[in-house]
Amino acid sequence: MNKQMDSKILGLLNMLKGARGIAVISHVHPDGDAVGSVLGFYHFLKKIGKNTVAILKDGVPYQYSFLEGVNEVRNVLDCEGMDMCVLVDASEFARTGFEKPELPVIRIDHHKTGEFYSEHDLVITTAPATVSLILEILKRWNKDMIDEKIARMLYTGLLTDTVSFLHANSFPWAFRDALFLSSITSVEDIGSLVYERKRKAFYYLLVRALERLTFKFWEKLAYTYIKYEDFSETGASAEDTDGIVRHVISIEGVEVGVNFIEYEKGVWKLSVRGKGKIDLALLCEELGGGGHKNAAGCSIKGTLEQAVSEFLRIFDRWAKYL
Ligand SMILES: [Mn+2]
């Protein structure tokens, strides 16, 4: 942690301490980092006596339902009594699925691209997860108030956003956080709770996706798709798509893996993963999306054929880096 970040956090802390009510919000289709950041920060704020609300438009996915306090998360943007809104793990407010409220917004995030809302925004792209930034804030605010419950929430975000400490952004910051959090509480069961409670429908969906695997660009690009009808036909829900692209990028020789997902008829959300050769945040930005170097996303409207050909057209310009 360098000095610049230190003073940045102190400025942010002053603002947070001065607020009476703080709403904490993250993106639609929340992942573990979004859930962990929202819940961890919300519980800390509540514990120190702040007026606060936790907001996730889609609620907490089944995968993270084991965390305490998930039923306190609201799915409406009700900022009554709040005088500021903290946007966590999201590159822009629009990702929350709500209109930006008439309140000062502060963004705490580690995504490469996005919008800025305040001089106190804490956007550190080298952070292994947004929960790592939340942890830095909480440690400086009042370390003793980080209890077992909060530690489990933050650890869940850390574990999932680093893909179980697999990603290059894990070293060594993520290990320091893991050591700190595991000194507060036992975290050894969290991996199993997150990854070993999958519903059968996930596998029905996965089988379809694997059968549709297509390879391009010297077999270094692999993609698959999930159609709108696949959800009703397999009984899977939007959350069940989460782990699929991991299988695509895990294939030997594949440098970029993509899953085209039609959550909404005629709109394809692309989940793009890589192994470091191409900056996928920049690639997805060309399609109106963003994210991290090795994990990014965007969305394309049209038929599957149109979405795939639009992606391949953009990808063609990046293929030289493969
Ligand atoms: Mn994240």
pLDDT at 1: 57
Q: 246-252 contacts: CB < 8 A, separation 24 or more?
A: 246/163, 246/273, 247/206, 247/209, 247/210, 248/209, 248/213, 248/222, 248/223, 248/224, 248/273, 249/222, 249/273, 249/274, 249/275, 251/222
Cα–ligand 1 centroid distance for 136 (angstroms):
15
Helix (H) or strand (E) segment spanning residue 87: strand 84-88
DSSP E strands, 151-255: 214-216, 221-226
Q: Using the 8-state DSSP alphabet, how is residue 100 labeled?
A: P
- Token reading at 212: 């549709």
Distance CA 165, CA 300 (A): 31
State the distance from the centre of ligand 1 to the C-alpha of 28, rounded, in angstroms. 13
Strands 51-55 and 21-25 turn out to be parallel
| Ligand 1 centre distance from Cα of residue 280 (Å) | 15
Summary mean pLDDT of the chain: 95
pLDDT in tens, 216-239: 999 999 999 999 999 999 999 998
- Asked whether 225 and 212 are in contact (CB, 8 A), the reply is yes
Per-residue pLDDT of 118-177, as tens digits, reads 999 999 999 999 999 999 999 999 999 999 999 999 999 999 999 999 887 778 999 999
User: Domain 200-321 is of which CATH architecture?
Assistant: Roll (3.10)
**pLDDT tens column, 39-95:** 999 999 999 999 999 999 999 999 999 999 999 999 999 999 999 999 999 999 999
pLDDT on residue 6: 86
**Cα 33 to averaged position of ligand 1 atoms, centre (Å):** 5
Ligand 1 geometric centre to CA of 121 (Å):
15
- pLDDT at 103 (0 to 100): 95
CATH topology (fold) of 3-194: inorganic pyrophosphatase (n-terminal core) (3.90.1640)
Ligand 1 centroid from CA 218, angstroms = 31
Residues 11, 16: Cα–Cα separation, whole Å: 9
Ligand 1: distance of its center to the CA of 90 in Å?
A: 8
Ligand 1 centre distance from Cα of residue 169 (Å): 11
Taking the centre of ligand 1 as the mean of its atom positions, its distance from the CA of residue 124, in whole angstroms, is 11
Q: What is the pLDDT of residues 4-45, one digit of tens each?
A: 788 899 999 999 999 999 999 999 999 999 999 999 999 999
- The residue ranges of every structural domain in the chain are 3-194, 200-321
Using the mean position of ligand 1's atoms as its centre, give its distance from the Cα of residue 126 in Å: 11
Using only C-alpha atoms, the chain has a radius of gyration, in whole angstroms, of 19
